Amino acid sequence: MTTHAEGPTSQRLSAGVQLILRVLNHFPPYRWTHARLLKWGVTGRTLVIAVPYLWLMLFFLVPFIIVLKIAFSETQIAMPPYQPLIQWLGEKTVSLTINFGNFLFLLEDNLYWKAFLNSLKVAGISTFFCLLIGYPMAYAIARADSTKRNILLMMVILPFWTSFLLRVYAWIGILKNNGLINNFLLWTGVIDQPIVMLQTDFAIYIGIVYSYLPFMILPLYSNLEKMDLTLLEAAQDLGCGPFKAFMKITLPLSMSGILAGSMLVFIPAVGEFVIPTLLGGPEALMIGKVLWTEFFNNRDWPVASAVAIALLIFLVVPIVYFQRLQARETGVGVHR
Amino acid sequence: MASGARNDGRFEPWKDPSAEPYIRVERVTKKFGDFVAVNDVSLKIYKKELFCLLGGSGCGKTTLLRMLAGFEEPTAGKIFIDGVDMAGIPPYDRPVNMMFQSYALFPHMTVEQNVAFGLHQDKVPKAEIRQRVSEMLDMVKLGQFGKRKPHQLSGGQRQRVALARALVKRPKLLLLDEPLGALDKKLREHTQFELVNLQEQLGVTFVVVTHDQEEAMTLSTRIGVMNAGEIVQVGTPSEIYEYPNSKFVAEFIGSVNMFEGRLIEDEPGHVRIHCPELGGNVYVDHGVSAPPSAVVFAAVRPEKIVLSRDKPASDDNVGHGIVKEIAYMGDMSTYLVRLDSGKMARVTQPNTWRHADDRITWEESVYLSWHPSSPVVVIE
């Protein structure tokens, strides 16, 4: 065998597993398969990694290729509502039709880039407010004593136990003209006309910030919780007041948490569809809504796919940038 | 030994009644809930001293240090540094710097930025900062490592960065929490002397917390031995070693043979203690003050005992037993002797001769004896 070839992996295997391997090794079919797999460069380690790879291939890469294919095809009123890219014409000929028209259409019609820019704006502002609200919360949880900490964390996670859709609907009840807030303000006499909040951008921001706040808090919490508090004592000892120590030590050291939280909020917020549809007005122009309209109302699958591909490409850029930044930070965040 | 040299130079401000102590700790108590970490401690530490707080884990030595730094407020009592009452003064306003046990280097800053950090807080001009940082790094022999991050340094280098960072502000008082704890033995011994040299060179007062008695003996001008939140003895290393004032101190510092007994003669010039464990009397040529017929302990250091095959002439300060274990340690050997009473006694003898055919060996019958000045009489 085999144990040599597998060296470090085998060392980490428990004694029980090693015993099973030793017994298995006496059966020729196992030995042959193992030897053949090794010859092809397949070890236990590659097999373990192969599972998530296969999963992503099947459920991300294949659908992506299908969408990409649709994006390059032409619309037709049929079922499915697009023309095939590759056609078998018989007589040893295959025709490949690539249609860039859908992407060009995105540039021509300013609806698309306006919707896209507006989505970026909404996502950006929402992320900023999530950070503004989430950072102090994450900080307070991380510094709370351990019994309180678990309760506070529980309270952050608790909303996930209710359906996302229900929670957004609940906001309609709170924000509408005869909703909770307006009724209260009318009753106290602060206002005599209800404030219009539902179907405004304000409602969209409320909805996104509320829904995505936990995604900001959790990575920030896990980052702040790991911080070595003697660093703050050292800063104070060297003449820093508490606020300055926060700015010079805590904030820079939590940068990777800030970035992770911001990405987790920003990326889904850009493509958000449910919140602007339910809370925003009909004129709220967001790329997720445009995508939905193209697919289901206009039944223009190729243009809708092109929108989806464009969105993906625009979002991949910040992710790659973020990962690069993280790679550079590696080792810095780890103290010891 | 560095401290020895200093004592020869008569650096003994604690013996001068007119000398003003630099740090005065007055009846300080610190409680965490019901737990009393520091209990009614009073202490005077003088300028340019290297004072060690020595004790086992949980004895309150770190809490006392943290109160000096300002990270903890005393529950009761007062702390004066340079005559100023420190009550309510936050760490960043105290003329004190601390070197942390974990070093607490800022991981996102380079070595230079770490060292310059404190100077930036004091708004020192940029050019001066640069000069002082590079001087300090040269002093701790890290001149070429300025651009590195802490995780790119070895443990010993990090320790020196922490030291440089604490010293660059030229504090009058430096607090060191187990400064050598994370270093290996060889490096620790080497660094001990560097630390003492640096302290003498800069004239800074050091207060060092350590659990390592050897480290305390080597470094300090004086040692404060702590136990269960209290200071049990303060003295120079040799005072602590030769004249421990309690059984705890005698056993904590170095190794010692404790012979339990009763005072049968208590004169100003000598005492005689009857020790059944020894199978005879211990005669001590200096007086002690203990209630008559009280239970006392005669403490004898292993290196002060002489082993012989023949019975010594004196009747006092003699024991008989059989050698059970011998540990050869190069410079000396340790013998474990089982006395006739069954008590085990520890004796160390220098290995003066390279080839000694006549060495006392296992299972030999031997006599133990010592000079009347050697034992120290302590009570529980």
Taking 70 as the pLDDT cut, the residues of chain B under it are 1-10, 288-293, 355-357
Kindly state the average pLDDT of the residues A136-141: 96
- As given in the structure block, the two tokens for residue A288 are 């997720």
ipTM over 0.90: no
How confident is the model at residue A249, as a pLDDT?
94
State which H helix or E strand residue A126 sits in. Answer: helix A110-143
Cβ–Cβ below 8 Å for A228 and B102: yes
Q: At residue A299, what are phi and psi to the nearest 5 degrees?
A: 50, 35
β-sheet with B50-54: strand ranges across: B96-99, B173-177, B205-210, B50-54, B222-227, B230-235
- Chain A residue with minimal CA distance to B109? A332
Q: Is any Cβ of chain B less than 8 angstroms from the Cβ of A328?
A: no
Taking the C-alpha atoms of residue A299 and residue A286, their distance in angstroms, rounded to an integer, is 18
Contact check, Cβ <8 Å, B97/A236: no
Across the interface, whether the CB atoms of B121 and A237 are under 8 A apart is answered no
Q: Which residue, B144, B173, B150, B152, is CA-closest to B162?
A: B150
For residue A216, give the 3-state DSSP assignment.
Answer: helix
pLDDT at A336: 35
Q: Which residues of chain B have a CB within 8 Å of the CB of A248?
A: 117
**Do the beta carbons of residue B321 and residue B308 sit within 8 Å?**
no
What is the C-alpha separation between A206 and A174, in angstroms, rounded? 11
Q: Find the CB nearest B97 among A231, A237, A335.
A: A237
Chain B residues in contact with A326 (beta carbon < 8 A)? none
DSSP assignment letter at A58: I
Under 8 Å between Cβ of B223 and B54:
yes
Tell me the pLDDT band of A330, cut-offs 50, 70 and 90. low
| Å between B18 CA and nearest CA of chain A | 32
- Both structure tokens of B206: 């050091």
Tokens of A177: 């003209």
- B91 → closest Cβ in A236, A244, A333: A236
C-alpha span between B280 and B282 (Å, rounded)? 7
User: DSSP readout, A265-324?
Assistant: HHHHHHT--HHHHHHS-TT---HHHHHHIIIIIS--HHHHHHHHHHHHHHHHHHHHHHHH
Secondary structure in 3-state letters for A134-189: HHHHHHHHHHCCHHHHHHHHHHHHHHHHCCHHHHHHHHHHHHCCCCHHHHHHHHHC
Cβ count within 10 A of residue B65: 21
The model's confidence at residue A20, banded by pLDDT at 50, 70 and 90, is confident
* Inter-chain touch A235–B106, beta carbons under 8 Å: yes
Closest CA to A272 of A75, A76, A121, A154: A121
The C-alpha of B160 sits at a distance from chain A's nearest C-alpha, in angstroms, of 15
The reported pLDDT for the residue numbered A3 is 41
Q: Between β-strands B23-32 and B96-99, what pairing exists: parallel, antiparallel or unpaired? A: unpaired
Joined together, the tokens standing for residue B292 give 């008559």
Q: Which residues of A fall within a CB distance of 8 Å from B150?
A: 335
> Do B108 and A252 lie within an 8 Å CB cutoff?
yes
Q: How far is B229 from chain A (nearest CA, A)?
A: 23
Residues B73-94: pLDDT tens digits?
A: 999 999 999 999 999 999 999 9
pLDDT at res. A2 = 40
SS3 A226: helix
pLDDT at A142 exceeding the cut of 90: yes
pLDDT confidence tier of residue A86, bands split at 50, 70 and 90: confident
Of the pLDDT bands very low, low, confident and very high (cuts 50, 70, 90), residue A210 is very high
Give the pLDDT of residue A13.
Answer: 58
Strand B205-210 versus strand B50-54 pairing type: parallel
Give the integer Cα–Cα distance in Å for A305 and B362: 91
A255-300 pLDDT per residue, tens: 989 988 999 999 899 989 899 999 988 888 888 888 888 888 888 8
Whether the predicted pLDDT of A335 surpasses 80:
no
The amino acid at residue B202 is L
In angstroms, rounded to a whole number, what is the distance separating the alpha carbons of residues B145 and B197?
22
CB atoms A238 and B71 under 8 Å: no
HSE, CB side, 13 Å, CA atoms: give it for residue A14. Answer: 2
